[in-house]
Chains A and B, each alone.
Chain A
Amino acid sequence: MGGLNKKEYVPVSNNVVINWIDERLPIFTMLDKEYGRFPTPKNFSYFWNFGAIAMMILIIMIVSGIFLAMNYVPHTDHAFNSVERIMRDVNYGWLIRYIHANGASMFFVAVYIHIFRGLYYGSYKKPRELLWMLGVVILLLMMATAFMGYVLPWGQMSFWGATVITNLFSAIPIVGDGIVTWLWGGFSVDNPTLNRFYALHFLMPFVIFAVVFLHVWALHVTGSNNPSGIEPKTKIDTVPFHPYYTVKDSFGAVVFLAFFAFFVFYSPNILGHPDNYIPADPLVTPAHIVPEWYFLPFYAILRAVPDIALFGYTIMSAKLAGVLAMFGSIGVLFFIPWLDTSPVRSTVFRPSYKPFMYLLVVSFLLLGVAGAKPADDLLWLVIGRLSASYYFFHFLVIMPLLGSIEKTPKLPDSIHAYYQEKKESKKKLLSLLAIMAVALSFALPASKAKAAGASIDIPKQEWSFNGPLGTFDRPSLQRGFVVYQQVCAACHGLDFIAYRNLTEIGLTELQAKAIAAQYMVQDGPDDEGEMFERVAKLSDRFVNPYPNEKAARYANNGAYPVDLSLITKARPQGSDRLYALLTGYVEAPADVVLGPNMHYNKYYSGHQIAMPAPLAEGMVAYDDGTEATVEQMAKDVTHFLTWTAEPKMEERKRMGFKVMIFLIVFAGILYASKKKIWKDVE
């Protein structure tokens, strides 16, 4: 091109159009330089896949989030309902929401592994300090984004999570309370809070994207670190990024997608909390407030810190100290490029540092479990304190000290030399991954079991909808509807189900119309401005037995018969629990004093329940001649209420089957491609 910037243009391809564009805006030259020929150490392990995987998930989150935003309503009156509308009525809404909800977890899985890799192989050391610090900024932004996103469904955990986390800022001396009021835009978490969280939750991913761009830019200046921690010296140490790492990253990404898809299609709610399927209630806090799993270690640090006293005087309250420790646990990461004094990057060549590195991982996992335990669990409080102490000890003492006193073996001459002995280190890596997998599989259920807080054993039942291929049993659904209609509907609403939905349980449209016609709904105003009653239509939601909550409480001695649409999703082990509850009414033991209007149920927590035993032998007459025993009715109505909670379950599992097969085959083909491409390097 002309002018001062005149330079001989070197064509980038054989295509005239591409060259024409490239000469004016060198996108293709840049791509070729940074992703085509970009020299990359040839000895990456699969740990090096997680940056690309995290990038992929960021894009998945942004896309699915934008489509959710098209249907979500950020208002306290509509947020919960609009999410349920996405789950039930919007085409593939359930899929997009489950992708987004589980995608947040997957993002943290990928990023935590990515961070571990950086720590283990010393990727934060000179000259990659800024690259690492930008990564910590991304982590902080992700945490803020995830937190605000979790508030949006406006369930119980959303509301109380928002309340607790915003209250952290009240720990700041003097101005703390003012800041909290400012964050809320009111005197409690309310509509203004929800609105601003929505706006920020929409904005932040794009900020993350921008910082990721800087992160990648910095990476392409310094080049990647590698398992040996040695810089590439000659050409034989590296391979061009394409096709070697494009194919390897693609393979890793598809394997990770299969892992991701398993959650989306087969356990979409396992990483969430049942309480979040209960609409937000500012008057009732859930028994155990537990953050999402990816915040548990930090939550444990927050709770681990006691009052800090000096000569018997409290110089810092536990509240402030906990908040400082929690933010400090991330803040310390900014400084590790200088805290670590070792001249050797990779832990592989730091035998005396290695055990401490593992200890750090263990303490982090233990913190995760401790964070899920109830606040009164003393054993785990101690474990949490020890782990939190080690976490800081590692960064503030081990790192600076060990670096200057440790003895390290002689480093290999080059990446190539190291690569030749790769097989052995590959084995080590596998065992490391295996250790992490075992530790995680131990930590996750351990945190889960107590989080449920269930001291009562709920017996497991056989359900046709269990398992990855499970389906609803249509006759049971229809019988269950009869039980609901004739028994439960006297007090309990089913607000998220419309009469038209009854065709999904196998009723014909005429039957559904006839059922709707049994109910009257208020409509209007008519031409004269008057409200009027009319017969319910297919498009109407189930008519609630009470006009509002006050009326419902008044009619039931102050107890509120909850809406049953989501009941099996809003309780741990929901379907089994509901069945147990319905069949759990027994004579109260002699030593139990029941409150007024209370009834004894062996499966209800506290054993005292306001609802009298709802089912009795032969209470309903089944059309199909099934005998209406209490167990049969309980089973049928539970079946029905499992469907009302998750009407798209069958569609979800069917689609999941296809997606899993596709991803597994695709991964196989990419693996074969990868083998072929890498053959000449190996």
Chain B
Amino acid sequence: MSGTTPQSNQSPSAKTRKARYKTPEQWKTKPKKASQRRDFLYLTAGAMAAVGASSVAWPFIDSMSPAADTLALASIEVNLAPLDPGQTITVTWRGKPVFIRRRTKKEIDLAREVDVLRLPDPEEDKERVQKDEFIIVIGICTHLGCVPLGQKPADPKGEYKGWFCPCHGSHYDTSGRIRKGPAPTNLAVPPYEFVSDTKIKIG
């Protein structure tokens, strides 16, 4: 904004050059009230425009967050009774695959005999399961979101007998922990509970 008011009765050069340095008298005289109020006005107007624009932006940005019905999306119940040891099933929860594997004794031992502290993302197998037999993880590689292989009998399961992500070669063990490859963390464990001995509710 052009804040200069026309100062018609002031001769240009000499006076303005002098005015760059305040004389003692000028220090004592108060600055013009009008111009001060004006600057304050413009600042307030500008500030209000900024506040207004950013408050309007928020509802639009937030409209892209999950909607109430999406957030309320149901939990699912899964019947584990048909699973034999060594078998797996994949279910969908919140649009994501959830791997459920009924582990054999050997697979449980494999997961338990590791020196946890030497893992990339140290976590005890016991902390990751509610019943030793069932490992339940979200089947999304923590590297860049591919779905790892290992659910079907013929799938490569990686060097640690768990899951293997074909996108960039991450190897997960029988507890779904990252052992080798670029993925930074273990496969996530979704919230779930056993509603009966053979039935779980995920979510």
Contacts and interface: CB of A to CB of B under 8 A. Distances in A.
A439 interface: no
Contacts of B48: 662, 665-666, 669
A677 B74 CA distance: 60
Interface stretch (B19-27, B64-72, B116-124): B64-72
A676 B5 CA distance: 10
A669 B41 contact: yes
B60 A96 contact: yes
Interface residues of A, number: 35
B129 interface: no
A96 B74 contact: no
B114 interface: no
Contact of B67 (A67, A89, A526): A89
B153 interface: no
B59 interface: yes
A680 interface: yes
B41 A90 contact: no
A670 interface: yes
B64 A85 contact: no
Given A95-B59, A243-B2, A527-B82, A70 B64 contact: yes
Nearest to A662: B52
Contacts of B44: 669
Interface string B51-69: 1100000011011110111
A538 B71 CA distance: 12
Contacts of A498: 69, 72
Given A665-B48, A676-B41, A89 B68 contact: yes
Contacts of B79: 526-527
Contacts of B59: 91-92, 95-96
Contacts of A70: 63-64
A498 B71 CA distance: 13
A611 to B, nearest CB: 31
Interface string A225-260: 000000000000000001100000010000000000
B62 A537 contact: no
B74 A673 contact: no
Interface in B1-18: 1-2, 5-6
B192 interface: no
Contacts of B63: 67, 70-71, 90-93, 96
A538 B68 CA distance: 12
B45 interface: yes
A63 interface: yes
B72 A500 contact: yes
Interface in A572-621: none
Contacts of A92: 59-60, 62-63
Contacts of A500: 68, 72
Interface string B72-92: 111100010010000000000
A665 B47 CA distance: 12
A90 B67 contact: yes
A666 B67 contact: no
B105 interface: no
A88 B68 CA distance: 8
B38 interface: yes
B163 to A, nearest CB: 22
Contacts of A242: 1-2
A538 B72 contact: yes
Contacts of A666: 45, 48-49, 52
A67 B60 contact: yes
A666 B48 CA distance: 7
A670 B45 contact: yes
B38 A676 contact: yes
Interface in A490-536: 498, 500, 526-527
Nearest to B6: A680
Contacts of A677: 1
A672 B41 contact: yes
Contacts of A538: 72
Nearest to B77: A534
A665 B44 CA distance: 11
Interface string A623-648: 00000000000000000000000000
Contacts of B69: 85, 88-89, 498, 539
Contacts of B72: 498, 500, 538-539
Interface in A415-468: none
A142 B187 CA distance: 53
Interface string A182-201: 00000000000000000000
B42 interface: yes
Given A90-B67, A93-B67, A537 B82 contact: no
A58 to B, nearest CB: 16
A90 B70 CA distance: 9
B41 A91 contact: no
B64 A243 contact: no
A122 to B, nearest CB: 32
Nearest to B44: A669
A91 B62 contact: yes
A670 B46 CA distance: 9
- In this complex, which of B6, B41, B62, B63 has the most chain A Cβ atoms within 10 angstroms of its Cβ? B63
* Interface-central residue, B1, B44, B60, B75, by most chain A CB under 10 Å: B60
B72 to A, nearest CB: 4
B101 to A, nearest CB: 16
A250 B53 CA distance: 13
A676 B44 CA distance: 14
A204 B17 CA distance: 58
Contacts of A539: 69, 72-74
Interface centre among A71, A92, A96, A243 (most CB of B within 10 A): A92
Contacts of B49: 250, 666
Contacts of A85: 67, 69
B56 to A, nearest CB: 9
Interface in B108-154: none
Contacts of B65: 91
Nearest to B51: A662
B37 to A, nearest CB: 8
Nearest to B5: A680
Contacts of A526: 79
Interface in A83-120: 85, 88-93, 95-96
B165 to A, nearest CB: 27
Nearest to A95: B59
A673 B41 contact: yes
A228 B51 CA distance: 38
A93 B6 CA distance: 50
A95 B56 CA distance: 10
Contacts of B52: 662, 666
B38 to A, nearest CB: 5
Given A85-B67, A527-B82, A538-B72, A669 B60 contact: no
A70 B70 CA distance: 14
A88 B72 CA distance: 13
Contacts of A88: 68-69
A573 B30 CA distance: 62
A7 to B, nearest CB: 27
A498 B74 CA distance: 12
B45 to A, nearest CB: 5
17 contacts: A70-B64, A89-B69, A90-B67, A91-B59, A93-B67, A95-B59, A250-B45, A498-B69, A539-B72, A539-B74, A540-B74, A666-B48, A666-B52, A669-B45, A669-B48, A672-B41, A673-B42
Given A88-B68, A673-B42, 5 more contacts: A91-B63, A92-B60, A539-B74, A669-B45, A680-B5
The 3 closest A-B pairs by CB, nearest first: A92-B59, A89-B67, A89-B68
